[in-house]
Amino acid sequence: METKVYQTDQLHEAAEKLKKGELVAFPTETVYGLGANALLPEAVKQVFAVKGRPSDNPLIVTVADFTMVQDYVDNFHPLTKKIVENYWPGPLTLIFTIKKNSLPSVVTGGLSTAAFRMPANKKTRELIKLAGVPLVGPSANTSGKPSPTTSEHVYHDLKGKIAGIVDDGAASIGLESTVLDLSDSNKAPVILRPGAITQEDLSKLLGVTVALDGHLIRENEAPKAPGMKYKHYAPDTKVLLVKNNDWEKAKVWVKENHLRAGVLAGPTISEKMRYDTACVFMYSKDTAESAAKGLFAGLRALDNKALNLDVILAEIYPEEGIGAAYMNRLKKSASQHYFTPEN
């Protein structure tokens, strides 16, 4: 199969592919999504096959406007209006209890709930309008690997497997959306996956304490939202998280064990380590925002087989604000493993 890269003036062509049940990747402000007609079970099944994604992992339904959501949900959480007015379109996914049999079970993972998102990317919202149907939109990559933040990442993973990719440059945020559970109207909202819209943001807006569910789903458990697995976003190369006061020890450990190590960090640590390691992927600034934007691109760059690395050493940030989302992804890419001299 030829995988075509669509530009702005070719959205009609891409939409026609989606209507017919073919797969087209699309840009968002978070990561690139793998689009399929959410109302065609056979098209959705192709998404699982192409990604190698477990079928118990529910898919996010991507919409162009809130009216689309109302086709599938009739019992909204009382805080829905305030949340939607403030954060849609944007990097926030909302989970609702849906009307019975309103969406194919392959989309929901057999659950009575479904996740919906309206991305900020105008090209993608226009694509959905042209297709006339909601799209499933998991990350457009091989399942479990670092998510794609450019069309080139998508092409690398899925070339020849999907009909096309709508190109709109690099994602501005770089981490998947916050997932907020609104499925129980009698309970306060709960964050199932942290993202750029933070726990602090939502609690302040809503005037209630929005909890962050820290439960990690293992391989034999069914998640309620994407990205909840214990191990996820992982490159083939081993990743170790390095605490701020352990970088000198890590440098010694690399030398003593004759390892080819890569470093994934901001400018300060990158400068300290660049002459003692095989290669460095440097975030643009020493901030959690820069780290979040560069994480997946960095993991992909350092996982290049040509580099032949033994290990990737990654910088950690405080788990507050977007740092919580960064650490959520980084910990899963490392299977929760921190550097110790015994590694």
Q: What's the confidence (pLDDT) of residue 213?
A: 86
The answer on pLDDT for 98 being more than 90 is yes
193 labeled part of a ligand binding site: yes
For residue 113, say whether it is annotated as part of any ligand binding site. Answer: yes
State yes or no: 260 annotated in a binding site. no
β-strand pairing of 33-37 with 24-26: antiparallel
Q: Is 117 annotated as a binding residue?
A: yes
Cβ 107 vs Cβ 123: under 8 Å: no
The angle at the Cα of 211, spanning 206 to 215, to the nearest 5 degrees, equals: 155
258-294 residue pLDDT tens: 999 999 999 999 999 999 999 999 999 999 999 999 9
Kindly report, residue by residue over 107-157, the tens digit of the pLDDT: 999 999 999 999 999 999 999 999 999 999 999 999 889 999 999 999 999
For residue 53, say whether it is annotated as part of any ligand binding site. yes
Domain boundaries, given as residue ranges, for the chain: 4-212, 238-333
The answer to the question of whether 329 is labelled as a binding residue is: no
Q: Is 177 annotated as a binding residue?
A: yes
Question: Does the annotation place 300 within a ligand binding site?
Answer: no
Mean of pLDDT values over 160-174:
97
End-to-end CA distance of the chain: 43
CATH number of 4-212: 3.90.870.10
Q: What angle do CA 226, 230, 234 make, to 5 degrees?
A: 85
Q: Where are the alpha helices (DSSP H) in 262-302?
A: 267-273, 288-302
Domain at 238-333: CATH architecture: 3-Layer(aba) Sandwich (3.40)
User: Of residues 303 and 219, which shows the higher confidence score?
Assistant: 303
